[in-house]
Amino acid sequence: MRPGTGLVDGLFKRKEPNLVTENGRHPEAVRQCLQQEALTYIDSLYRTAVRMTRNPSDAEDLVQETYLRALRSLDRFKPGTNLRAWLFKIMTNAFINEYRKRTRQPRNQSLDNVEEYYVYAHLIDSGVQPESRGPEEEVLASLTDDNVVAALESLSDEFRQVVLLADVEGFAYREIADILDIPIGTVMSRLHRSRRRLQRMLTGSLVEAQPYGDSAHE
Amino acid sequence: MSNCSETLERLYEYIDRELSNEEQAEVQRHLDDCPPCRDRFKFEENVLRQVRRCCRDVSAPPSLVEKVRRICNQ
């Protein structure tokens, strides 16, 4: 942040023509918008950061870095566009370009060799038959949060990101493509494979932890 | 009406509401008439719901909120 551009200073400088952005909005006005709105996304950014970094302390650093970068790049934000998606894009770039290099985190295994079979079929083969057991919630309720987190964290960064953006944060394919700067087809392909992998992990732990053996079918 | 394999190919796009209204309705018609596909879709949705529920149950610590508030007010 440049010195002397605090909120009050900025308001006094509002009429200076060289402070008007390409979007025709004064940076200070954009900054006030960010101040007012950006904090509403902090939970959403933080929970994604926790899952991306796998570490609450690193997640805090990443979120702070995201807001610092956002403030430095205000002239690139177009008012009226999706601030939440813009913040996620900044955070994703910070994670990929800075955080991962700095921490030299090993990438998790790629999904290239993930077996291509449907977990649902595997479940049935394993004796878990949601249909015969009533609501599927009953089966899935056996999963603990630890099971889910472990499965998520086993995904490579690239695959974990699409799951977090789509399944946790509810971004549309188009938005995810913009955030990650990848083609929409790649988003769909990564999502498809990540979800299969997740299911495999989750239902695998379910089958191992709670075998639906003899009594379940009596 | 579309068959099971065509419907399963659109499973995730249906769950993610990425199909057109017409396509969404077509998948829905198949699911209405096909219990195995319906169970499969429901299962997939429930797995994703489980992931969402687990991950969304996290909030930024108050100390971080305060730090970011200060960053925004710089």
Burial A73-89 (b: 16+ CB within 10 A, else e): ebeebeeeeebbbbbbb
User: Hey, are the CB atoms on B50 and A46 less than 8 Å from each other?
Assistant: no
User: Hey, are the CB atoms on A63 and B60 less than 8 Å from each other?
Assistant: yes
Q: Is the model's pLDDT at A174 over the cut of 60?
A: yes
At residue A64, the pLDDT reads: 95
Lowest mean pLDDT among A43-47, A118-122, B26-30, B46-50: A118-122
Interface size, chain A vs chain B, as Cβ–Cβ contacts under 8 Å: 108
At residue A97, the pLDDT reads: 83
> Residue A43 is nearest to which of B35, B39, B60, comparing CB atoms?
B60
At residue A188, the pLDDT reads: 96
Query: Which residues in chain B have Cβ-Cβ distances shorter than 8 Å to A64?
Result: 64, 67-68, 71
Residue (of A129, A197, A202) closest to B39 by Cα position: A129
Domains and CATH numbers, chain A: 7-103 (1.10.1740.10), 111-217 (1.10.10.10)
User: Hey, are the CB atoms on B73 and A7 less than 8 Å from each other?
Assistant: yes
Mean pLDDT for chain B overall: 91
Q: Which pLDDT tens digit goes with each residue over A44-95?
A: 999 999 999 999 999 999 999 999 999 888 878 877 788 899 999 999 999 9
Q: Is the model's pLDDT at A137 over the cut of 50?
A: yes
**CA of B1 to nearest chain A CA: how many angstroms apart?**
24
Lowest mean pLDDT among A60-74, A103-117, A180-194, B42-56: A103-117
Greater model confidence, A27 or A141: A141
Greater model confidence, A68 or A136: A68
At residue A12, the pLDDT reads: 26
Greater model confidence, A119 or A52: A52
Query: Which residues in chain A have Cβ-Cβ distances shorter than 8 Å to B65?
Result: 39, 42
Q: Is the model's pLDDT at A159 over the cut of 80?
A: yes
A13, A116, A124, B46, B51 from A165: Cα distances, Å: 38, 23, 29, 17, 12
Greater model confidence, A182 or A126: A182
> How does residue B57 score in pLDDT terms, banded at 50, 70 and 90?
confident
Mean pLDDT of A123-150: 64
Phi and psi for A141 in degrees, rounded to 5? -65, -20
Greater model confidence, B52 or A202: B52
Query: Which residues in chain A have Cβ-Cβ distances shorter than 8 Å to B47?
Result: 140, 195, 198-199, 202-203
Query: Which residues in chain B have Cβ-Cβ distances shorter than 8 Å to A130?
Result: 39, 43
Rounded to two decimals, what is the model's pTM? 0.76
A residues 101-160 closer than 8 Å to B (CB): 120, 123, 130-131, 136-137, 140, 143, 145, 148-149, 152
Mean pLDDT for chain A overall: 72
Lowest mean pLDDT among A65-69, A135-139, A213-217: A213-217
Q: Is the model's pLDDT at B63 over the cut of 50?
A: yes
> How does residue A2 score in pLDDT terms, banded at 50, 70 and 90?
very low
Question: Given CB atoms, is B23 within the 8 Å cutoff of chain A?
Answer: no
Q: How many CA atoms lie within 13 A of A8 on its CB side?
A: 0
ipTM: 0.91
Greater model confidence, B69 or A128: B69
Phi and psi for A61 in degrees, rounded to 5? -60, -45
At residue A9, the pLDDT reads: 29
The residue whose two tokens read 């169970």 is B39
CA R_g for chain B: 20
Specify the CATH number of the domain B4-73. 1.10.10
At residue A179, the pLDDT reads: 96
Q: Which two tokens stand for residue A132?
A: 């015969």
